[in-house]
Chain A
């Protein structure tokens, strides 16, 4: 437990700073709601949230930001970047992570007292997710096990109705980066006891329903489920349902 207080890694070899890409959509006027920071997972960038969710959140009065993960990162560097961006926003921030981005968020809320956190289709158990990926996309996944890049495909991520164009924007992940996420230790308990919501789809081919339930139970709740959707909730034709549900939950939590 004292590792929480004694942060030798940060004290002796701080994460090197990089220029970070942060996309945003801001509400007019700003009514003082907490800002939202969206964190994408492997293969995705901030663009995945700019398609629909950022603008929609702004239209509902929330300043919405999306952080593109740094190149050649690691779990530690991603967590660092999320906390840096969150602490740089004017108010206590709501962190919303998707896929392995949810893993990053789960680790980030152990460092930074977020106003609230949302784990969307969270990949918290790396080995289970790897097993699922091997089953659905063996050709894209196998190379990552022997030092090559991890490639995601549309069958894994999208429902049948999701436009093909998105698949072309996915980037390949170097093996070392994937490994640092899949072999991540379990996140420490959150600081500042933020409310945490888990959302996902029972038809997700990356995160099983069981994994969703385990993650939700860890944070003391049940997952909010959106049947029929693929792993990439934010790019699905029915993207509005989950983001509205997330914002409704948030509004309710903020009122308490």
Chain B
């Protein structure tokens, strides 16, 4: 292939897409492995999902972490130890800004620049087409590798029910920013995930009437059990390496003893075992249901006129419907086959990170775990950086590592027994996942 004059060759440099938590960790860890990095960020500052200053951020005023500080911070850049167990979103953004400042990452980031195309050129290298978000000409640059860290919480998943005939206001949780939007209204919140529960609780404090629609019953884990953050107690069980069945039983007992039987409150019983769905951490939902401020309702089947109808035939008349249906990953700049994306839009990646047929293409941060994402994104990006370094310095060893990795059983790093939903496409147990990543890092260590 001939270089066309307008393609600027960046030689061994690596392109990182997105400067949120995952992108920042990727820049830092690639630079530690000696790579020069160009990171493209379409917004004008760092922080990604946590950067509430831009429209695509899913953050609302009351957003707090649902995993506690020690299980959320970057392993090599702890959050201040005098912060609360569950910091709020503005602290998290401040933390990411300090991370970028501390490691001097802004030198590597091109803000206000969108990646519009990433195409392989055949020798493992990539042509990356970028454009200023303000418009203007496209620019093509050639990179040795591409790491995608564009997040998966910004493209709202549409509601499966048609809302066009509904006269009230319908908005996705992504557009929900402030409890004032709920004040005095009759609100229906659709979705039993963490956001849906949070908004239902905020509505319970602000709105006139609140219905909360969920498709199934969930395990509502309290934020604290036995006076400790719940995830720290859970980590203790994982440390003891108790078998899953025993942990499920203990989880069940703990929830029974602390939260109690949720069906007593009128909530549906969970239709799955603990650890088979993404944890919903909310201490207040059940409280407000018990106070009659939230009325649990079933799955929505129709929205028409001023009425919403549920699966059990029940009808209510909300004037505001908030759909907390979650988000879908989107990679518009990549041909779907590069990430083995199936018809539903689900990419198939080794360790949810490495493109199976393109050794110089990886995704960082595309996991959902029973702990914070930042530590996982950190170790993913360390593994990606080491892998790219090994490939450059010792291609034979790299090939051997790749062959060994291809035999790693799926169940060793991802959760197979989960409720079938796009919510759980990337669901992992953080300890199993980190063990798999640690094992990969060890293999590469021996090699170098």
Task: Give a binary string over A65-97; 1 marks a CB under 8 Å from any B CB, 0 the rest.
Answer: 000000000000000100110011111100000
Contact B434–A2 (Cβ < 8 Å): yes
Among the 9-residue stretches A4-12, A170-178, A205-213, A224-232, the one with 4 or more Cβ atoms under 8 Å from chain B is A4-12
CA distance A80 to B104 in the complex (A): 23
CA distance A87 to B96 in the complex (A): 12
Is A111 among interface residues, defined by CB-CB distance under 8 A?
yes
Contact A84–B76 (Cβ < 8 Å): no
CA distance A7 to B71 in the complex (A): 9
User: With A8-B238, A12-B239 known to touch, is A90 a contact of B102 (CB < 8 Å)?
Assistant: yes
Contact B81–A14 (Cβ < 8 Å): yes
CA distance A80 to B73 in the complex (A): 14
CA distance A92 to B103 in the complex (A): 6
CA distance A88 to B232 in the complex (A): 24
CA distance A15 to B73 in the complex (A): 14
Is B379 among interface residues, defined by CB-CB distance under 8 A?
yes
Is A41 among interface residues, defined by CB-CB distance under 8 A?
no
Residue of A nearest to B101 (CB): A90
Is A29 among interface residues, defined by CB-CB distance under 8 A?
no
User: With A11-B232, A87-B102 known to touch, is A192 a contact of B81 (CB < 8 Å)?
Assistant: no
Nearest CB on A from B77, distance (A)? 5
The number of residues on chain A lying at the interface, defined by a beta carbon within 8 Å of a beta carbon of chain B, is: 29
Contact B78–A5 (Cβ < 8 Å): no
Is A53 among interface residues, defined by CB-CB distance under 8 A?
no
Task: Give a binary string over B68-80; 1 marks a CB under 8 Å from any A CB, 0 the rest.
Answer: 0111000111101
Contact B102–A12 (Cβ < 8 Å): no
Q: Across the interface, which residues of A come within 8 angstroms of B371, CB to CB?
A: 11
Contact B232–A12 (Cβ < 8 Å): yes
Partner of A17, one of B82, B232, B437, B439: B82
User: With A6-B431, A8-B238, A8-B239 known to touch, is A191 a contact of B76 (CB < 8 Å)?
Assistant: yes
Q: Across the interface, which residues of B come within 8 angstroms of A193, CB to CB?
A: 32
Contact A84–B438 (Cβ < 8 Å): no
Contact A17–B81 (Cβ < 8 Å): yes
Q: Across the interface, which residues of A come within 8 angstroms of B71, CB to CB?
A: 11
Nearest CB on A from B191, distance (A)? 29
CA distance A87 to B69 in the complex (A): 15
Is B441 among interface residues, defined by CB-CB distance under 8 A?
yes
Q: Across the interface, which residues of B come within 8 angstroms of A113, CB to CB?
A: 32, 76, 103
CA distance A10 to B70 in the complex (A): 7
Contact A87–B379 (Cβ < 8 Å): no
User: With A14-B81, A15-B81, A88-B80 known to touch, is A1 a contact of B438 (CB < 8 Å)?
Assistant: yes
Partner of A111, one of B75, B80, B379: B75
Contact B379–A5 (Cβ < 8 Å): yes
Is A112 among interface residues, defined by CB-CB distance under 8 A?
yes
User: With A92-B103, A113-B32 known to touch, is A2 a contact of B439 (CB < 8 Å)?
Assistant: yes
CA distance A90 to B98 in the complex (A): 7
Is B236 among interface residues, defined by CB-CB distance under 8 A?
yes
Q: Across the interface, which residues of B come within 8 angstroms of A1, CB to CB?
A: 438, 441-442, 445
Q: Across the interface, which residues of A come within 8 angstroms of B236, CB to CB?
A: 8, 12
CA distance A111 to B371 in the complex (A): 20
CA distance A80 to B69 in the complex (A): 14
Is B235 among interface residues, defined by CB-CB distance under 8 A?
yes
Interface residues of A in 142-182 (CB under 8 A from B): none
Nearest CB on A from B35, distance (A)? 13
Q: Across the interface, which residues of A come within 8 angstroms of B232, CB to CB?
A: 11-14
> Looking at B101, B233, B235, B439, which has the most chain A CB atoms within 10 Å of its CB?
B235
Q: Across the interface, which residues of B come within 8 angstroms of A14, CB to CB?
A: 69-70, 81, 232
Contact B82–A6 (Cβ < 8 Å): no
23 A-B interface contacts by CB (under 8 A): A1-B441, A1-B442, A2-B434, A2-B439, A2-B442, A5-B75, A6-B438, A7-B70, A8-B235, A8-B236, A11-B232, A12-B232, A12-B233, A12-B235, A13-B232, A14-B81, A87-B102, A88-B80, A91-B101, A92-B103, A92-B104, A113-B76, A192-B32
Residues in A lying within 8 Å of B, measured CB to CB? 1-2, 4-8, 10-15, 17, 80, 83-84, 87-92, 111-113, 191-193
Known: A1-B438, A5-B379. 7 other contacts (CB 8 A): A1-B441, A5-B437, A7-B75, A12-B232, A17-B81, A90-B101, A193-B32
Residues in B lying within 8 Å of A, measured CB to CB? 32, 69-71, 75-78, 80-82, 98, 101-104, 231-233, 235-236, 238-239, 371, 379, 431, 434-435, 437-439, 441-442, 445
The 8 closest A-B pairs by CB, nearest first: A2-B438, A8-B239, A17-B81, A11-B235, A5-B434, A5-B438, A12-B236, A192-B32
